[in-house]
């Protein structure tokens, strides 16, 4: 069913994503992008409330063939990882998070900051609960909110141990993964970064990074599914990309 790939697979790779039936990959508000920090400015937005991330629950880690993914929702439909604030309208529920690694430390992250590519990034994918399900929300502009974090290599062990096989984790706490400061972030309206590339995503990219160990990044390289063409050049020189700093911020594009 997933007849697309990143690279080296002929007519399924990135240049052809736009030709997939129902695809939005050739549209004009695609992600990822480069954050040009000189073009950002501050507006006042509320801080995020990510309290629900403090809960400890079982999760499943899997290689979905496109990324290393951790499934959060167990299908019970209960409000689990619900977030508010951060300038989002309403309540957004996390369903999964995943990582984008490269084949080596010099690449991996999909978004870039002033041209800098991090060894990996992590995307927590939420849908607007007003739409009832992720399948409905994915059809609506702003129906999806992704919180993106850049990963940097440090000697610290993070809480998540990765495996190259499907793995259950009994006691997992999402907030343990996050950087200590969530105050500074960039905001723009974009898309899913893979087919069908729906332009329904309110993107939040946090300036503070997550530190992972060298061993973990080596494991991550085994799961590299990297983009050929990234980021998209979307913004002309006089367009502003929003940035939130110290819980104020701003934005505006598109």
Residues contributing to the site for ligand BO1 (CB under 6 A): 95-96, 123, 125, 134, 138, 146, 192-194
Q: Which does 192 bind (CB under 5 to 8 A by kind): Zn ion, ligand BO1, none?
A: ligand BO1
* Closest residue to Zn ion, based on beta-carbon distance: 123
Contacts 24+ apart (CB under 8 A), 135-143: 137/200, 138/192, 138/198, 138/200, 139/198, 139/200, 140/200, 141/189, 141/199, 141/200, 142/89, 142/189, 142/200, 142/202, 143/200
Asked if residue 123 binds Zn ion (CB under 5 A), the reply is yes
- Is residue 111 within the footprint of Zn ion (CB under 5 A)? no
Nearer CB in complex with Zn ion: 99/244: 99
Which CB, 59 or 250, lies closer to Zn ion? Answer: 59
DSSP bridge partners of 101: 120
Between 146 and 151, name the residue whose CB sits nearer to ligand BO1: 146
Interaction partner, residue 160 (Zn ion, ligand BO1, none; CB < 5-8 Å by kind):
none
Is residue 77 classed exposed, middle or buried when 0-12, 13-18 and 19+ CB atoms within 10 A define those classes?
A: exposed
54 Cβ contact list (under 8 Å, min separation 6): 173, 174, 175
Pairwise CA distance, residues 148 & 23, whole Å: 23
* Smallest separation, CB 192 to ligand BO1 (Å): 4
Nearer to Zn ion, 123 or 227 (CB): 123
* 125 interacts with, out of ligand BO1, Zn ion, none, CB within 5 to 8 A per kind: ligand BO1
Give me the least distance between CB of 4 and ligand BO1, in Å please: 11
Active site residue 66: yes
| Active-site hit among 66, 98, 126, 221 | 66
What is the spatial distance between Cα 151 and Cα 161, in angstroms, rounded to a whole number?
15
What CA–CA distance (Å, rounded) separates 141 from 133? 14
Q: How far is the CB of 181 from Zn ion (least distance, A)?
A: 22
C-alpha distance from residue 144 to each of 120, 127, 244 (Å): 21, 4, 19
| Binding positions for Zn ion, rule: CB under 5 A | 123
What amino acid positions are annotated as catalytic residues? 66
């Amino acid at each position: 069913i997933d007849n697309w790939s990143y690279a080296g697979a002929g007519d399924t790779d990135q240049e052809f994503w736009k030709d997939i039936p129902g695809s939005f990959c050739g549209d004009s508000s695609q992600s990822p992008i480069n954050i040009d920090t000189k073009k950002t400015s501050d507006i006042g937005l509320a801080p995020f409330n990510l309290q629900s991330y403090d809960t400890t629950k079982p999760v499943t880690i899997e290689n979905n063939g496109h990324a290393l993914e951790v499934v959060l929702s167990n299908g019970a439909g209960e409000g689990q990882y619900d977030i508010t604030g951060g300038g989002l309208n309403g309540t957004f529920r996390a369903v999964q998070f995943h990582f984008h690694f490269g084949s080596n430390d010099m690449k991996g992250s999909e978004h870039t900051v002033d041209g800098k590519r991090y060894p990996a990034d992590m995307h927590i994918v939420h849908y607007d609960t007003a739409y009832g399900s992720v399948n409905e929300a994915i059809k609506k502009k702003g129906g999806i909110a992704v919180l993106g974090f850049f990963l940097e290599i440090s000697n610290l062990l993070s809480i998540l141990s990765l495996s190259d096989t499907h793995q259950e984790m009994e006691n997992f706490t999402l907030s343990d993964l996050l950087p200590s400061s969530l105050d500074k972030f960039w905001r723009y309206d974009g898309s899913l970064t893979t087919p069908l590339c729906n332009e329904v995503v309110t993107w939040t990219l946090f300036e503070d990074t997550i530190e992972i160990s060298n061993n973990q990044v080596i494991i991550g390289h085994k799961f590299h599914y990297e983009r050929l063409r990234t980021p998209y050049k979307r913004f002309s020189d006089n367009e502003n990309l929003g940035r939130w700093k110290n819980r104020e911020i701003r934005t505006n594009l598109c």
